[in-house]
Structure formats: structure tokens, C-alpha cells
Structure 1
Amino acid sequence: MPPIEALNAPDLPVPAGHYSHATRAGNLICVSGQLPMRPDGTHTGDQPFEVQAEQTLSNLRAVLAAAGAGLKDCVEVTVYLVGVEHWKAFNEIYARHFGDWKPARAVVPVGALHYGYLLEISARAWVERS
């Protein structure tokens, strides 16, 4: 088994809990659940769903970039969504970000999240290392 490395994106707030933004084991990158917190640490829980979705995907991109990856490297994405009424809007925003790439995905309806957030996204990516 390759060594496991903890990673934090330099442009995002340090995680408040006992976890890292991501871990890398060889070519595999596992991204912790990303919430729609702004890079300056302020919350978006009072913002419309679309604003929260855009921020969450931006945070996912930042974590992947810190690990030397991008959305096109994702092999699996899990989305925790408060309110199935947001499914259509989320799918449209998600498709815009991922473009033609369609990694495996699960969208899981959940109850309330911290700070009034309406979604959380985790992912796994694969990056060839030189």
C-alpha cells in the first residue's frame, strides 16, 4: 500500500473538524465532503441554492487542484442534497461544470446540513503520477 498523504487546499479555510480536505494514496485522491463555505470562511447558508451549488463545486475544484487533479479526473462523485426539489437545478449546474465528462455519481437526499447549507459534495479522483 502506498503512503497516505493528507492534503488541504491553500485557498480554502482549514477544516473545522478532525479531517483533511483530501487524502492521496498513490494515484487515488479522496476528497472530503465540500460545503458551500466561501474561501474567506463566511457561510452561504442564507443564499439561494444555485449560489450554494456554484460555491461547492468551486471548492471541489480547489481541493482537486491542490492535489494536482481536476474535475475530469473524478471517477466518482457523491452529492448530499437537502430537498429533492433542487435536483433539476443541481443537475444543470453540475453538467455545466463537468461538461462532457460523466463520472459515476450518486445523489443522496438528506435532512438538514450545518449552517443551512443545501448540499455537500465528496469525490474520488485518479491521477497518474510521474
Structure 2
Amino acid sequence: MQKTIIHTDKAPAAIGTYSQAVKAGNTVYISGQIPLDPASMEIVNDSFEAQAVRVFDNMGAIIEAAGGSFADVAKLTILLSDMEFFPQVNEVMARYFNEPYPARAAYAVKQLPKNVDIEVEAIMVLAD
């Protein structure tokens, strides 16, 4: 199966040995996004809400570069520094997703890259 690397300057450049996203067939695997501003490559840390918005904006840019929309996202994995942020994740997600919502898992983890409070990865399935 052919793999296509997805890249956009509207999302942060990869800061390690990974791609922003990889398309295999009609499935797009979107790497975990943290609240990095793509222009400055600085962490957005004004508030948890600001971090979550930046994460989903970054993801949206990658989704668009892959030829999809948030409606095409089938699965999200959300990593949080603390489950106390879970209600805010739901509030922010409602700005980007409509029903039917994607499948989702959310975990609190010990530490995230650059000590941010949220990282989100996604799997998107595009129409044939």
C-alpha cells in the first residue's frame, strides 16, 4: 500500500522523527498535536482553553491539507495532564465537531511533550 505524507505550513512543523500525518489508502493518521503556534513554534499557554483551541486549530489545518474535514474524523485520542480538564475538552470539541461525533478515548498521563496540558491525535477516513 502506498503511503502519502501530509504536510502543511499552517500547522506546527514536526519536532521529532514523525510526520504531521500519513495517508494510507483512504485513512489518514494524524500525529499528536500539542498547542504550538505554527508561526512562532512557541507554546500557547494562556489557559487550558487556549491550549485546546490551538490543538484543534492545528489539527484542522492538517485535516484540510489531507483533503478532509472534521466530519471525516473517525477516532480521537486525547491525552491530558489532568482529568480536571476533561469538561473543557468537551466544550472546545463542540466548536469543531457535530454529531455524529467521532469515537474517542481520553487519558490523563504523567507528562506531555514540552509540559503542555493537552495532546490530541486522530484517525480520519476520507471518501473513496
TM-score tier after normalising by the smaller chain length: over 0.9
| C-alpha distance in 1 between matches for 2:110 and 2:47 | 17
TM-score normalised per structure 1: 0.92
Q: Which residue of 1 aligns with 2:98?
A: 99
**Matches of 2:116 and 2:124, distance apart in 1:** 24
Query: 1:70-113 CA distances to partner (integer Å, 9 max, x unpaired)?
Result: 11000101000111111111111112211223110000111222
Letter in 2 for 1:104: A
Which residue of the partner structure matches residue 66 of structure 1?
65
* Identical amino acids, percent of aligned pairs: 31
2:56 alignment counterpart: 57
Q: Which runs of 5+ in 2 are unaligned?
A: none
Look up the match of 2:117: 118
Runs (5+) with no aligned partner, structure 1: none
Matches within 5 A, 1:24-39: 24-39=23-38
- Aligned to 1:43, the other structure's residue is in SS state coil
- TM-score normalised to the size of structure 2? 0.93
AA at the equivalent of 1:12 = A
- What's the CA shift string for 1:58-78, capped at 9, x where partnerless? 011011111001110001010
SS in 2 for 1:112: coil
In the aligned structure 2, how far is the partner of 1:99 from the partner of 1:78? 17
Q: Give the Cα–Cα distance (whole angstroms) in 2 for the partners of residues 12 and 50 of structure 1.
A: 18
| Count of residues paired in the alignment | 127
Measured in 2, the distance between the counterparts of 1:3 and 1:52 equals 34
User: How far off its partner does 1:10 sit?
Assistant: 2.4
Which residue does the alignment assign to 2:21?
22
- What amino acid does structure 2 have at the position aligned with 1:95? A
RMSD: 1.2
The answer for the alignment partner of 1:127 in structure 2 is: 126
Question: Deviation above 4 Å: which 4+ runs of structure 1?
Answer: none
**8 Å CA contact retained: 2:71, 2:97:** yes
